[in-house]
Each structure stands twice: as structure tokens, then as C-alpha cells.
A and B are shown apart, each in its own frame.
Chain A
């Protein structure tokens, strides 16, 4: 039996991974919940967030708050891109078959990730962590947790709560939930559903871009990180329940823990354990642990 502090450290590292994944998967889940589309390009938005943050950090130079400006700027830029894609292209496929929508988002993956390769090359890029958080660590129950990881662990629930309150308490949030249930009735009641869809895409892309920007101090930004993350985010939302908000949060927590403890028990097959869990959930409850079945 490994000692408790090791287990604690392991679960903290799982928690950090989970909060990152939540940031990314929440956007994926939001788009699925409202638009009923699995957006493969979401991973690419995440990658673009990381690259844009790198670029902005370069341009800003050594000013104070450089990292935060770069991260927010990157998320905003990706959000705008997401909005444009929805407004000018994706909108025309809502009436088409699911296969066409899926393949369209895959086409975006191909085009955007190659565009990123043209702009930033294939070299690894990274952004240094903000000086307020870099190089310091908290020692807790014998485990060492870098401040940056702590920040991420706290940021995840903060964003989750903000997001949830927005969905529950604000007018836009109510519209989004209504659109997920019945788009036509909402339109008939005089809500501009088209604009709402664009905003959903903007918000989801913002979250994806932010996730990418925030991960850049921890993992190198490389081509191919988009197709990797989308599979992970996909597993998270499937386990938790596509379109279910807390399901995504819960799914991310499960994913993080399964992955970090899976490595302990079967070092090579932890990734296998995750996919097997996903398949098991799909077989028993295809709509996920906390989701609701589609009509």
C-alpha cells in the first residue's frame, strides 16, 4: 500500500488535470446541449488559445500582468473566431444530417490546425507562468502543490459556479436552457434564436481558448495537441452526460482520478481504463451519468 501522502499528491494532480479538462469540456458540452452537435473543432480552438497566448505574450514583452493579458486576449480572440465560424458557415448546416455537421467540424480541425502550423511552425512553444504564481509551492500533507496548480484547482469551481449561476439566474441563461429544450417554441416567443446560437458558440470558444491559454505554462504547445485533447474532453462529457452542466464537472473529476490512479495500478493501461469507462457508461446510460436522454 503506498503511503497516504503519495495518494494525496496523486489525487491532487488528478484534480488539476480534471479542472483543466472541465474548462475545455464545458464548452464542448454547452454546444452539444444547445446545438446538438459534437464539435470536433473545439480542441482546435483550445490549441489556438495556447498559440495566441504565446503570441500575445511575445508582443506584450515584459509588462506587468503580461500573462493575464495574454490569456484573456487569447480567449477573446478565439471567441471571436468561434462566433465568425458559426455566423458564416456552421449556421447553414443546422438543417443537414448529423454526419455533415460532424464532418464540417472535422474540416475545421484540418484547416485551422494546418493554419496554426503555417503561422507558428512545428516548434514547441510555451508561455512562462505569471511571476505571482511561478516557482512557489504549497506543502500540504506531505504533498507539494505548485501555486499555479492551486490556482487552476480553484479556478475550475469558480468558473463552474459563475457559469451555472449565469445559466440559472440570468435572462440569457434561461434562453440558452430553453433553446436546448425547444428551439422552435423559443423562436416563436420572439427570442432571436440565431443570435443566441452565435453567442453560445462565442462563449464555448472562449472557454476552450481560455483553457488552452492557461495550460500553456504547464504543457508545451505543439501541433497535434488539438486531436489529443478533443478525445479527452469527449470522454469527460460522455461520462458526465453530454449537455449536462454538472455532469461535465463530475465527468472531469472522475476522469482526472481514474487517470492518475490508473497510472499507479496499471501503469501502461490507464488510458485504456478511461476509454473502457466511457464505453461502459455509453452502454448502460448513453446519455451519461447526470445527463438526460434526448427526445
Chain B
């Protein structure tokens, strides 16, 4: 048996080295990719591993973003508390909504998740006193990361770089946790439910409870991603929870490959880089995205990861 190279550690090291390039733009892009990667991976737990198609995952992202944003901007709560709060609150909302959603199957499940997401969006959009309403909440402060400036090697960096490094560590920790979840007996059971919920029930598994647990976990991690995104974006806006956001993250998941752990992260990377390239040529990015999506659905339904593994299998057979 050949030893697998430590991909995760290498990637983490590469991600930590990005600010050393000294370009504000690269750090910005990398931070964007990181957060979306976490968001898409959290959705993958539902769609890819449990087989629950949620069309309202942006709700939890939005709740997380507003939680951290409101706590830090209006109440002056330190990041150390405001960040986990995003996960806790989004997870609590997911518990409440999920309780009703997992009772329904397939298309009805998708519709109820969408309905709840629209409720969240409507609240964010209209509740001016708390969420800032339609205008959103600009100027979310960065966490106070002055201590990082006093560390060796980091003194030269900007605040946004410091925040980026914090994001790398937090996202890596979250992905590590999710990876453990997927590999655990619990995660195996989710896959069993995806493959055949009826049989899972026959062997005495409480399918709904497992689905609800997956829903809550996915919601909580989406909330954490949202918490980071609000700070990264320097503002929180109601469209974080709008249904089109939910489809965007679904597209990333699909592009990378559903049910493959790092697929959605890859999808986030490719889609964001592509967006950067294409936006410099044309303002019609949605048009391009729609075309990519159609090609993906018809030609590579397994996403990039699926296409790559097919290619590898063919090469192996050829040699």
C-alpha cells in the first residue's frame, strides 16, 4: 500500500502562505473561496451524503451572518463569542425548521426548506430596527487582531490579512470536523439513508432523527460560514438569505461533485476564479453561469470530481 501524500496539510500550508504573496487581491479571493468552500461543504452533508435536497440553505448562512454582524457591530461582543454564536443560532434555526422539513419527502422537502428560507429573508428584509432592513448592515468591524501584529512574521501584514489567517484556521477546523462527521458511523448511516431510507428503517434506524441531526449540523456550519462572510464582506445584506443564494451554493456543490468530500470546495474555487476572469470581460456573468450549469447537467452530471474519477479509471484501464 502506498502512503497517501498529506494533501490536507499541504493545502493548509499553501493557504496560510497566500498573504506572503503580498497582493491584497489574492488574499481577498482566497478568503472568498474559503468561506464559500465551507458553506458548500456544509450543504454537501445534506445533499450529497444524506440525499436531502435543500433549496433554502442560504437561510442559515444569512442567520449566521446577521448573528455575528449584529453582535459585533451593535453590541460590541468580541469575535471569540460572536463567531460560535453564528453557528449556535443557525443550528437552532435549523433544528426548528428541520423538525418540520424532515417529515416531508423529496420535492416537498425542497419546497418547505425554500419556504422557510423565504421567511428568514422576509424578516431580514423588513425588520429595520434589528437587521437594517433593505439597506442591510454595512461596516461590520473586523475582530481585534492586534495581537497577531506582535507575532513574528505577521507584523507586516494588514488587518484583512490577519482576518484571512484567522479564517483559514477556522475553516480548516470546521472542514476537519465535518470530515470526521462524514467518516464516523453516524456519517455512514447518513449515506445508508441516502441509498435506501426504507431499508435503514427496517434495520431499526430512526431515519428522521438522523436526517434532522444532519440538517442541524449542515445549518450550523453554514451559519459559521455566514458569520465569517459578514465580516469579510464588511456588511450583511438581506440577499444573503434570498433563494438565488441557495441555488448558487447548490451549483457549487454540483460543479465540484456531490457526495465527494472536497468536491464542493473545489466547486467554490473554480466558480469564484471563473467569475473573476469572466467579470473582467463581460457583465453578463449569470448568462455564463447558466450556460456552464446546463453543460454540467447534460455532460458531467457527476461534477468535476466525478469527471476526474471517470478519466482516471479510463486511463488505468488503458495502461
Complex Cα spacing A272 to B244, Å: 18
Q: Kindly state the interface size class of chain B when it binds its partner.
A: 35 or more
Q: Are B112 and A103 in contact (CB under 8 A)?
A: no
Contacts of B100 in A (CB 8 A): 279, 282-283
Complex Cα spacing A197 to B76, Å: 58
Contacts of A115 in B (CB 8 A): 287
| A147 on the B face (CB < 8 A) | no
Q: Which residues of A contact B (CB under 8 A)?
A: 36, 38, 89, 92-93, 96, 98-100, 102-104, 106-115, 117-118, 227, 231, 234-235, 238, 268-269, 271-272, 275-276, 278-279, 282-283, 286-287, 294
Complex Cα spacing A275 to B112, Å: 10
- Given A275-B118, A275-B119, are A231 and B111 neighbors across the interface (CB < 8 Å)? no
- Given A114-B286, A114-B287, A282-B115, are A98 and B244 neighbors across the interface (CB < 8 Å)? no
Q: Are A100 and B290 in contact (CB under 8 A)?
A: no
Since A100-B297, A279-B119 are in contact, a sample of 10 more A-B pairs with Cβ atoms closer than 8 Å, ordered by chain A residue number, is A98-B107, A104-B297, A107-B297, A117-B284, A234-B111, A271-B125, A272-B126, A282-B104, A282-B111, A283-B103
Q: What is the minimal beta-carbon distance from A67 to any residue of chain B, in angstroms?
A: 31
- Given A98-B106, A103-B250, are A113 and B119 neighbors across the interface (CB < 8 Å)? no
Which A-B residue pairs are the 3 nearest by beta carbons? A110-B290, A111-B290, A114-B287
Q: Are B251 and A283 in contact (CB under 8 A)?
A: no
Contacts of B235 in A (CB 8 A): none
Complex Cα spacing A278 to B55, Å: 15
> Among the interface residues A118, A275, A294, which one has the most CB atoms of the partner chain B within 10 A?
A275
Q: Which residues of B contact A (CB under 8 A)?
A: 47, 53, 55, 100, 103-104, 106-108, 110-112, 114-116, 118-119, 122-123, 125-128, 243-244, 247, 250-251, 254, 284, 286-287, 289-291, 293-294, 297-298, 301
> Among the interface residues B118, B291, B301, which one has the most CB atoms of the partner chain A within 10 A?
B118
Q: Are A286 and B47 in contact (CB under 8 A)?
A: no
Q: Are B289 and A110 in contact (CB under 8 A)?
A: yes
Complex Cα spacing A137 to B260, Å: 62
Q: Are A286 and B286 in contact (CB under 8 A)?
A: no
Q: Are A286 and B104 in contact (CB under 8 A)?
A: yes
Complex Cα spacing A269 to B297, Å: 38
Contact of B108 among A111, A112, A117, A286 (CB under 8 A): A286
Contact of B293 among A106, A227, A235, A275 (CB under 8 A): A106
- Given A36-B107, A98-B53, A114-B286, are A272 and B297 neighbors across the interface (CB < 8 Å)? no
Q: Are B108 and A110 in contact (CB under 8 A)?
A: no
The A contact surface, by secondary structure, is: helix
Complex Cα spacing A185 to B119, Å: 41
Contacts of B291 in A (CB 8 A): 107, 111
Complex Cα spacing A102 to B250, Å: 11
Closest to B301 in A: A100
Contact of A96 among B107, B115, B119, B301 (CB under 8 A): B301
Contacts of A286 in B (CB 8 A): 104, 108, 111-112
Closest to B99 in A: A283
Contact of A238 among B111, B244, B284, B287 (CB under 8 A): B111
Q: Are A110 and B119 in contact (CB under 8 A)?
A: no
Contacts of B127 in A (CB 8 A): 268
Q: Are B112 and A272 in contact (CB under 8 A)?
A: no
Closest to A278 in B: B115
Q: Are B287 and A282 in contact (CB under 8 A)?
A: no
Q: Are A110 and B293 in contact (CB under 8 A)?
A: yes
Contacts of B112 in A (CB 8 A): 279, 282-283, 286
- Given A107-B293, A271-B126, A282-B112, are A99 and B47 neighbors across the interface (CB < 8 Å)? yes
Q: Are A103 and B290 in contact (CB under 8 A)?
A: no
Q: Are B301 and A109 in contact (CB under 8 A)?
A: no
Contact of B287 among A36, A89, A106, A110 (CB under 8 A): A110
27 residue pairs bridging A and B, Cβ less than 8 Å apart: A36-B107, A92-B298, A98-B107, A100-B301, A103-B250, A103-B251, A103-B254, A103-B297, A104-B294, A104-B297, A106-B247, A110-B286, A110-B287, A110-B289, A110-B290, A114-B290, A234-B111, A268-B128, A269-B126, A272-B123, A275-B115, A275-B118, A275-B122, A278-B115, A279-B100, A279-B115, A282-B108
Contacts of B286 in A (CB 8 A): 110-111, 113-114
Contacts of B123 in A (CB 8 A): 272
Q: What is the minimal beta-carbon distance from A51 to any residue of chain B, in angstroms?
A: 16
Contact of B53 among A99, A269, A272 (CB under 8 A): A99
Contacts of A278 in B (CB 8 A): 115, 118
Closest to A96 in B: B301
Q: What is the minimal beta-carbon distance from B132 to any residue of chain A, in angstroms?
A: 14
Q: What is the minimal beta-carbon distance from B103 to any residue of chain A, in angstroms?
A: 8
Contacts of B254 in A (CB 8 A): 99, 103
Complex Cα spacing A113 to B254, Å: 22
Q: Are B290 and A108 in contact (CB under 8 A)?
A: yes
Q: What is the minimal beta-carbon distance from A186 to any residue of chain B, in angstroms?
A: 21
> Among the interface residues B100, B103, B115, B244, which one has the most CB atoms of the partner chain A within 10 A?
B115
Q: What is the minimal beta-carbon distance from A53 to any residue of chain B, in angstroms?
A: 23
Complex Cα spacing A32 to B126, Å: 31
> Among the interface residues A106, A112, A238, A278, which one has the most CB atoms of the partner chain B within 10 A?
A106
Contacts of B297 in A (CB 8 A): 93, 96, 100, 103-104, 107
- Given A36-B107, A102-B55, are A227 and B244 neighbors across the interface (CB < 8 Å)? yes
